[in-house]
Amino acid sequence: MKEKENSMSAIRWLGLAGLMCLMIVPLGCSTDRAADGSKRYVIATVVKVDGIAWFETMREGVEAFGKDTGHRVFVLGPAKADAAEQVQIIEGLIAQQVDAIRVVPFSVEAVEPVLKKARERGIVVISHEASSQQNADLIIEPFENAEYGRHLMDELARYMGEKGEYATFVGSLTSKSQNEWVDAAVAHQEEAYPGMVNVAAKIEDYDDQNLAYQKTKELITTYPNLTGILGSAMSTVPGAALAVEERGLQERIQVVGTSLVSVAGPYLKSGAAKLISFWDPADAGYAMNKLAVMQLEGKMVQEGADLGIDGYRELAGSPDKPNLFYGSAWMDVSKDNLAQFETK
């Protein structure tokens, strides 16, 4: 793992042109054939931020897909959350004529033009965490976003005793799925939990755990009656929980949100975080690659499709968007069941 981290750090410093030479050219960008005569594709995954735990876990799923199928796969992403750099990376992939691009966009709007260009060049585009994406062949979400947002609010309300002041975080205001979760959560709170008040809405932490920590410290000072925090990006729960733990406020402030056990587990144990929900990024990475190959092979993806992956065994379709599909992939972890998920 250390060797991989050093390699990726070097790639970031080489710049986009050097990066493409290192990552793509050795693979070969034109479709070739495996020993059994089947087609073998080059599939790139572009993530929001390279090197953070969430997308390192997604990388594991991508690499597992490549190992299982023989397709040539790899993962790229900006060193920090940066929509412009994502666009540059995709431009480079278009120039290299990869067969498919899978993207988890930092900003859906920012990547629309470059994804349109990719599709015009015959490159298959699969999007994730981007239900409103217009320029994608297929969009796969781990679950229906509003349903997930309501679920997170139910859990926060339970820990808060259905009353008190709370704040919501998002990675950014351009992170489409996260904003949909929060919008649904707050709407649900206003209807179902009138004793709760959202005093600080959609604080951006840019998928940065330290920034979430700093923002939470500011919140605690600004809102002395704060009793809840709802996080969206993986970074929020551990960052917020650290701030809560340092102040000794584990009993008063309830921290709930999307994260991974690998970064939030210690805070679940200490009580500084109460519950995390997540879908397995490795499974999502595998599922997206499988959809890319299905699209490249001209196979129709329909409601009820079974991708053979936990959480994606019976896809639900969107009534409004024929290329948008949902899995049923979320899981909850608290102190009570943490031991079952220690590797996540």
**CB-neighbour burial class of residue 30 (10 A; exposed 0-12, middle 13-18, buried 19+):** exposed
Give the closest residue to 201 by CA, choosing from 223, 193, 211.
223
**Predicted confidence (pLDDT) at residue 323 exceeds the cutoff of 70:** yes
CA distance 135 to 49: 21
Mean pLDDT along residues 194-203: 99
Give the closest residue to 100 by CA, choosing from 180, 39, 183, 16.
39
pLDDT computed for residue 9 by the predictor: 37
CA distance readout (Å), 216 to 172, 173, 192: 16, 18, 26
Residues with Cβ within 8 Å of 257's Cβ and at least 6 positions away in sequence, in order, are 152, 169, 229, 230, 231, 232, 236, 237, 240, 276, 277
Residues with Cβ within 8 Å of 97's Cβ and at least 6 positions away in sequence, in order, are 29, 30, 121, 123
User: Cα 194 to chain center, whole Å?
Assistant: 30
CA distance readout (Å), 187 to 39, 150, 178, 253, 333: 48, 8, 14, 21, 24
- The CATH superfamily holding the domain 145-278 is Response regulator (3.40.50.2300)
Mean pLDDT along residues 300-320: 95
**Predicted confidence (pLDDT) at residue 113 exceeds the cutoff of 80:** yes
Give the model confidence (pLDDT) of 62-108 as tens digits. 999 999 999 999 999 999 989 999 999 999 999 999 999 999 999 99
Instruction: Using a pLDDT cut of 90, give the percent of the chain over it.
Output: 87
pLDDT computed for residue 31 by the predictor: 52
CA distance 264 to 283: 19
Average pLDDT across the chain, whole number: 91
**Predicted confidence (pLDDT) at residue 342 exceeds the cutoff of 50:** yes
* CATH number assigned to the domain covering 2-143+280-328: 3.40.50.2300
Give the model confidence (pLDDT) of 133-154 as tens digits. 999 999 999 999 999 999 999 9
pTM comes to: 0.82
User: What number of H helices and E strands is found in the chain?
Assistant: 10, 15
pLDDT computed for residue 17 by the predictor: 42
The residue ranges of every structural domain in the chain are 2-143+280-328, 145-278
Amino acid identity at 276: I
Give the model confidence (pLDDT) of 239-298 as tens digits. 999 999 999 999 999 999 999 999 999 999 999 999 999 999 999 999 999 999 999 999
Q: Per this entry, what is the length of the chain?
A: 344
Q: Residue with structure tokens 């991989």?
A: 4
Q: What is the DSSP letter of 300?
A: P
2-143+280-328 and 145-278 share one CATH topology? yes
**Predicted confidence (pLDDT) at residue 39 exceeds the cutoff of 80:** yes
- Reduced to 3 states (helix: H, G, I; strand: E, B; else coil), residue 114 is helix
**Cα angle: 164, vertex 166, 169; to 5 degrees:** 170
